[in-house]
């Protein structure tokens, strides 16, 4: 970071024992303030807790940089946990901007719910019945009927998560792309997804929501019995993750393609 370090910093931690123990070790490192008053947040936990931290900021509508330290499992969005030298590490961090998706879901009873998603928006069948979906990109119907278990729209930051497990492509950070990936497609059998410009407006309509109910999920928050879902990038709310210079998140995303 080229600018002076913010004085008002918050420490947040996952409820897991390792994260709570680490938080206790750092308790006296700074004069921590509540997250809603901070200009920088230090988050202790795993990738799931990082997503919770980022979503909490979006809800407060006060967005500040976040430096995460991994005390979970994968820790793809986190730095290595080290107790000492935190001040110097914060001084040397590299920022990465992450633009979230905005999901607008309309339920079959007419309720409209808008949620942000940092990793992906996914539509999933609710019962044993296959989902039947119409997919529109930029007001043009590109798939009149997709029979599948579901479909997801992933950002570059989220392309190594659920999207990759569903056989979707890994997108480099800064690529200005989105992945549109089917989940267990039945018809058309040969369609394996699409890579779209991140300016694309994606709409997914549930063709038979009464018989074949579908839920929509923005990262970890679910809306059930949806009739239609619209997805766009929310460029008004860019998030900033801070990383140690040697962390190289963009390189880690690239190298995920070669992990066996």
Catalytic residue, chosen from 47, 198, 238, 250, is 47
Query: In this structure, what token pair is assigned to residue 84?
Result: 């000492």
What is the pLDDT at residue 1? 47
Mean pLDDT, residues 50-74 taken together:
91
Query: In this structure, what token pair is assigned to residue 149?
Result: 């278990």
pTM of the model: 0.84
Are 196 and 118 in the same domain?
yes
Are 188 and 65 in the same domain?
no
Is residue 47 one of the residues assigned to a domain?
yes
Query: How distant, in Å, are the alpha carbons of 11, 76, 79, 88, 194 from that of 73?
Result: 20, 9, 12, 25, 30
Q: 240 pLDDT exceeds 90?
A: yes
Is residue 61 one of the residues assigned to a domain?
yes
Instruction: Tell me how many domains the chain contains.
Output: 2
Comparison of pLDDT for 249 and 12, the residue scoring more:
12
Are 105 and 86 in the same domain?
no
Which residues are part of a known binding site?
A: 47-48, 119-120, 149, 157, 160-165
Mean pLDDT, residues 134-156 taken together:
97
Give tens-digit pLDDT for 164-206. 999 999 998 888 999 999 999 999 988 999 999 999 999 999 9
Comparison of pLDDT for 98 and 152, the residue scoring more:
152
What is the pLDDT at residue 230? 98
Which residues are part of a known binding site for NAD(+)?
A: 47-48, 119-120, 149, 157, 160-165
Is residue 1 one of the residues assigned to a domain?
no
Are 71 and 151 in the same domain?
no
Is residue 3 one of the residues assigned to a domain?
no
Is 178 within 8 Å of 196 (Cβ atoms)?
yes
Is residue 247 one of the residues assigned to a domain?
yes
Are 26 and 76 in the same domain?
yes
Q: 41 pLDDT exceeds 50?
A: yes
Question: What CATH number did the domain enclosing 231 receive?
Answer: 2.60.200.30
Query: In this structure, what token pair is assigned to residue 85?
Result: 């030298």
Are 105 and 214 in the same domain?
yes
Are 216 and 243 in the same domain?
no
Are 214 and 254 in the same domain?
no
Question: What CATH number did the domain enclosing 85 receive?
Answer: 3.40.50.10330
Are 180 and 243 in the same domain?
no
Is residue 124 one of the residues assigned to a domain?
yes
Are 126 and 91 in the same domain?
no
Residue 199, phi-psi category: left (phi > 0), alpha (psi -120 to 50), beta (remainder): alpha
Mean pLDDT, residues 135-156 taken together:
97
Is residue 2 one of the residues assigned to a domain?
no
Domain that holds residue 94: 9-99+238-258
250 has catalytic annotation: no
Are 50 and 174 in the same domain?
no
Comparison of pLDDT for 205 and 48, the residue scoring more:
205
Is 10 within 8 Å of 42 (Cβ atoms)?
yes
Are 136 and 175 in the same domain?
yes
Is residue 32 one of the residues assigned to a domain?
yes
Is 41 within 8 Å of 63 (Cβ atoms)?
no
What is the pLDDT at residue 77? 87
Give, in degrees to the nearest 5, the angle at Cα 4 between 7 and 52: 60
């Amino acid at each position: 970071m080229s600018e002076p370090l913010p004085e008002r910093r918050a420490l947040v931690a996952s409820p897991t024992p390792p994260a709570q123990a680490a938080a206790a070790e750092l308790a006296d490192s700074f004069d921590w303030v509540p997250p809603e008053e901070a200009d920088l947040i230090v988050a202790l936990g795993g990738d799931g807790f990082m997503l919770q931290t980022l979503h909490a900021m979006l809800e407060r509508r006060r967005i500040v940089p976040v430096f995460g330290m991994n005390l979970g499992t994968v820790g793809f969005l986190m730095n290595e946990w080290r107790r000492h030298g935190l001040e110097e590490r914060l001084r040397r961090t590299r920022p990465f901007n992450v633009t979230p998706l905005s999901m607008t879901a309309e339920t079959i009873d007419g309720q409209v719910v808008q949620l942000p998603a940092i990793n992906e928006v996914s539509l999933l069948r609710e019962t044993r019945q296959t989902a039947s979906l119409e997919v529109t990109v930029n007001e043009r119907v590109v798939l009149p009927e997709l029979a599948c278990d579901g479909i997801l729209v992933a950002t570059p930051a989220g392309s190594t998560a659920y999207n990759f497990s569903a056989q979707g492509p890994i997108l480099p950070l800064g690529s200005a792309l989105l992945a549109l990936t089917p989940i267990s497609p039945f018809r058309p059998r040969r369609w394996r997804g699409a890579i779209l410009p991140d300016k694309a407006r994606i709409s997914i309509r549930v063709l038979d929501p009464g018989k074949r109910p579908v839920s929509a999920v923005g990262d970890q928050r679910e809306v059930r019995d949806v009739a239609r879902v619209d997805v766009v990038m929310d460029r008004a709310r860019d998030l900033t993750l801070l990383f140690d210079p040697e962390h190289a998140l963009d390189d880690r995303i690239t190298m995920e393609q070669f992990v066996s």
